[in-house]
Amino acid sequence: MTYLHRNSPHSPASVVLTKVQMDVLIASTPSKLRKDMELTIDLAIRAIARLGGYLEYRKNVTVHGG
C-alpha cells in the first residue's frame, strides 16, 4: 500500500482494501471530510494513520518566534 501511495495515490482504495475495511476507514473519518468522499489510496493511508494516533493538524501549525 505504501508503494501504491507513492506511485498512484489517486487510485481507488478498493485495489488493496475490502469493502469492510473501507467502511471502517470512512466511518472513522471526520464528517466534514467524508462528504461525497471517494476513498483513494491517499485518503486511506491518512485514515489509517489517524486510527494510529496521527494528528494532521500539527503539520499545519506555524511556530512563531519571540
Taking the model in full, what pTM does it have? 0.76
Per-residue model confidence (pLDDT) at position 58: 59
Cα distance between residue 14 and residue 12, in whole Å: 5
* pLDDT, tens digit (0-9, with 9 covering 90-100), for 2-43: 999 999 999 999 999 999 999 999 998 888 877 777 899 999
Domain ranges within the chain, ordered by starting residue: 2-60
Alpha carbons 27 and 47: distance in angstroms, whole number? 10
- Whether the predicted pLDDT of 60 surpasses 60: no
**Rounded mean pLDDT, 43-50:** 92
Nearest one of 56, 55, 37, 47 to 16, comparing CA atoms:
47
